[in-house]
Chain A
Amino acid sequence: MTKITSRKELEQYRKNLQKQKGSKNITISVCAGTGCLALKAQEVVDNFREEIKKHKLSANVEVKEAGCPGFCEKGALVVIHPEEINYIKVQPEDVAEIVSETIVKKKVIPRLLYTDPHSTKPIKKESDIPFYKHQKRILLGNNMKIDSKNIDDYILYGGYSALAKALFDMKPEEVLEEVKKSNLRGRGGGGFPTGRKWETTRNAQSDKKYVIVNCDEGDPGAFMDRALMEGNPHLVLEGLMIGGYAIGANEGFVYVRQEYPLAVENTEIAIKKLEELGLLGKNILGSGFDFTITVHRGAGAFVSGESSALMSAIEGRVGEPRPKYIHTAVSGLWNKPTCLNNVETWANVPLIINNGAAWFQKIGTENSKGTKIFSLVGKVNNTGLVEVPMGTTLREIIYTIGGGVPNGKKFKAVQTGGPSGGCLPEKYLDLPVDFDELYKVGSMMGSGGMIVMDEDTCMVDIARYFVNFLSQESCGKCIPCREGLRHMLRILNDLTTGEATEDDVKLLEELSEVVQLSSLCALGQSAPNPVLSTLQYFRDEYQAHINGECPAKVCKGLLTFTIDAAKCTGCGLCMKNCPVEAITGEKKTVHHINSDICIKCGNCYEVCKFNAVQKATGKQKKVVSVERR
């Protein structure tokens, strides 16, 4: 590769790419994100390459391994441009037909289209699918157009023009001013104004400064950072470089969790390609700006996503938070001023520089600007990544885009903000989602996890789930967090087996307050949120558990399984699926469950085709508390 040494050469390079592109007029984009790869996307790609060769279409058709557009549940996804024909759930076997029918004969294959469950009409174009149509995908929009391993794709769509603009048309102060004016707030959880953070690091006196991308994404149930880092790494890196220039840092780090091997790989490839082109290293584009980027893999610790902990981890030490009397923005990595931002935060930067702060200001609400990517999962029809302007209501996200709750079940709650967020009930469905509105009702934005729960979800169990998660992830440095969470978990466990009293719940509330007020880092400070919000909105469920009942029939200690003699046909399916041989009965006679042996796994309930297995709740005389430790 020849080096690009000036802004003019970059533009020339882009023009050449456009010219080359002109000759290939059909593009088959296959999502090669982790979700689709899990659904055989690689085989789909390989088959396409082979079929295209077989049909001698290589001169005209390009096969692209693209990034995740967010609709992973419907993978493997294939989009054929320019018509934008969107095929879902494509299997390797379907490929030959797609090439001979759609590519050669220009005929659409209805079987592979997305069918709208409401109108039951198949939809041909990607942008007409309700899941995409109601989104505003300024960050994720290019994922399906770009091969994330190919820097040319990014450059073709205008990549690194924002960097060139910053380096040549703007002073560092002006870049900083533009980001400040945009009112961009950090997407990593706290919503701290990005420009202000940059300014602090910029103004700190030091010979050396650092910038870091936080791609730890420790929140269970969230994968937007993964989709961006895997699908469009250059967007994030360009943002980082612009930030480095504005702040006065010449060294950047990308901290990626090792559980995301593809994100690590794609980021490393992106960095290598940049170095080859001369867009990283000394004197970038002849501007005099030097910059290097290093990838650092996290080794699996939720608390290491916290800023001061993350910096310890990069230094090769245990990733525990430290007191922040002095902010990491002033004294961070190796005690040098360090600016850490989330993946999505950095990804917004090139867009702001290219389009201007005024453009960004127009998207979103009064105090939360731009779009936010949510990971919409749980009991919702269309699960996936959803990018919408700040201020979009929960109802629009869950119903219009998400298609509502499946199987005719009733919506119960939506949990936002990850382990440190809260659960919101139905009455808040019309709440416009932004940093401040969520906070007002006892939840938070967090990294953007959005978990939908239906009538089959037990809110006490959910609170227990999060407290269990956080007590395991606490680094153990402060007593309130370590011991407080452990004790809260004990009470929640007791609730799920019907052994807790009203006093226990009072103690739970008190402990919540103590842990909130006296922990060192935000893990402890926010850990009680799921408990407090479920107590606030679903107190009746706590009461029911005290009375020995689990209304959603989830908590094992409060369940009994029996077989209804009138319905049982004696097919024996339940017996076959019982892991502990608790079921007895001869073929074609009524079966029976021995509740002393039953471990309440629910297999029999699920497999019985005659609804003969009954699930009941209510405190038993002899409680087998499976979950208790």
Chain B
Amino acid sequence: MSDYHFPYLSPRQTRTGEPNAWQLELANAIEAVFTKGAQELDEVVAGLNQSRVRPPSGGEWTAENFKAVMHELGV
């Protein structure tokens, strides 16, 4: 048996490890960009480029690197 104990009341069930500081900052930045009204991909990318959070390789966010990062982290 893995991590089951009755009563099972775990608020975290969908991730296997803790996100790192950068991932947390990125999630917060994305939520902030959405809150400001961004809906389309280019609006999200533009919003992130206004934030302090950089892509893993540094430099600017692009549609491509944003989609790649989300695909990796959102599986």
Q: Do A and B come from one complex?
A: no
Report B's interface with A, CB cutoff 8 A: none
